[in-house]
Amino acid sequence: MLRTSYGCPYKCSFCIRWQISGGHLILLPIDEIIEEISEIQESNIFIIDDNFLMNPARLEEFITKIKESGIKKRFLSYARIDFILENEDIIRKLSEIGFTGFLIGVESHRIKDLKEYGKSFTPDDAIKASEILKKYDLDFFASIIVKPDMTRTDFSDLKRFLKKARFDFVNIQPYIPFRKTPQYETMKDRIFVDEKDYVKWDFSHQVVRPDHMTPSQFYIQILLTYLDFYWTGTSRPIHKIRKYGLEVCMSTYAKSFKLLLRYINMIWDTYLHDD
Ligand code: SF4
């Protein structure tokens, strides 16, 4: 893992990262980053900056200096949809120096959620960004937040959206209203998990009582959406085996299986306490 910056200049309403960094952004000089990378023995480097794809001029310098140094690594980082749409040329160059994909907050298939979060893109933009990444054989690790007001129809729409967008990996997480976010005030009366039970504030547990179903039914909807995505052909398993090798894929599928068991456990646990 490598960090090249601290902070994020954006202020998405649900996110606490920019609040932790006080809205400041500190960038390490590219020469120092190249030096650090050249000392790393691992061939896969995960750049854990809140958002690595921010500054086109800095990225151009990074690309040029990686090429000059002869470094051959596989990189993965966080990115934003708007940057991908506006900077396809940089995306192509990043694929040429070893980037294998990006972790991207798609957040929602509902325009109203994206507006509320302060995102400047639409669900259609996410589909366009996915097409750009496919062109350069870059994987799209999409992160989706499901709000407690989701209905069964919303989950069906989400499944259709995920199929249409053809993301490579999907992470679906229940909405977590952290303190100091605007949503905390509107949701705090429906929080049913102790705020000091930190293990359950982990982006996989439902902490706010859903509007239209019980917590266990909500988990079932999340689980069905995962199953629909990963076991109906949209996630291109053969492509992944070719790209990452059988060993990595088997380990990923083993983790998916563990996640499946975890959801079954959470469904059972919440079912016992459903009203
Ligand atoms: S969600 Fe991402 S882009 Fe938005 S403020 Fe948080 S780190 Fe920055």
CATH number of residue 244's parent domain = 3.30.750.200
- The model's pTM is 0.90
Instruction: Give me the chain's average pLDDT, please.
Output: 91
CA of 50 to the centre of ligand 1 (A): 7
Determine the pLDDT at residue 275: 64
CA of 4 to the centre of ligand 1 (A): 16
For residues 2-20, average pLDDT: 88
User: Is residue 62 in some structural domain?
Assistant: no
User: Is residue 232 in some structural domain?
Assistant: yes
**Which residue segment(s) compose the domain that 169 sits in?**
76-273
Residues at CB less than 6 angstroms from ligand 1:
8, 10-12, 15, 17-18, 50-51, 80, 105
User: Is residue 44 in some structural domain?
Assistant: no
CB–CB of 99/76 below 8 Å?
Answer: yes
Give the separation between CA 41 and CA 44, rounded to whole angstroms. 9
Number of domains in the chain: 1
Determine the pLDDT at residue 117: 93
Does the pLDDT value for residue 273 go beyond 80?
no
CB–CB of 216/271 below 8 Å?
Answer: yes
Q: Which of ligand 1's atoms lies nearest the C-alpha of 18?
A: 5
Q: Kindly state the percentage of the chain with pLDDT values over 90.
A: 68
Does the pLDDT value for residue 181 go beyond 70?
yes
Q: Which of ligand 1's atoms lies nearest the C-alpha of 11?
A: 5
CA of 15 to the centre of ligand 1 (A): 6
Does the pLDDT value for residue 169 go beyond 80?
yes
User: Is residue 53 in some structural domain?
Assistant: no
User: Is residue 104 in some structural domain?
Assistant: yes
For residues 17-46, average pLDDT: 91
User: Is residue 255 in some structural domain?
Assistant: yes
User: Is residue 143 in some structural domain?
Assistant: yes
Which residues, in sequence order, are bridge partners of residue 76? Answer: 46, 101
Q: Which tens digits make up the pLDDT trace of 70-120?
A: 999 999 999 999 999 999 999 999 999 999 999 999 999 999 999 999 999
CA of 242 to the centre of ligand 1 (A): 32
Give the separation between CA 99 and CA 87, rounded to whole angstroms. 15
User: Is residue 40 in some structural domain?
Assistant: no
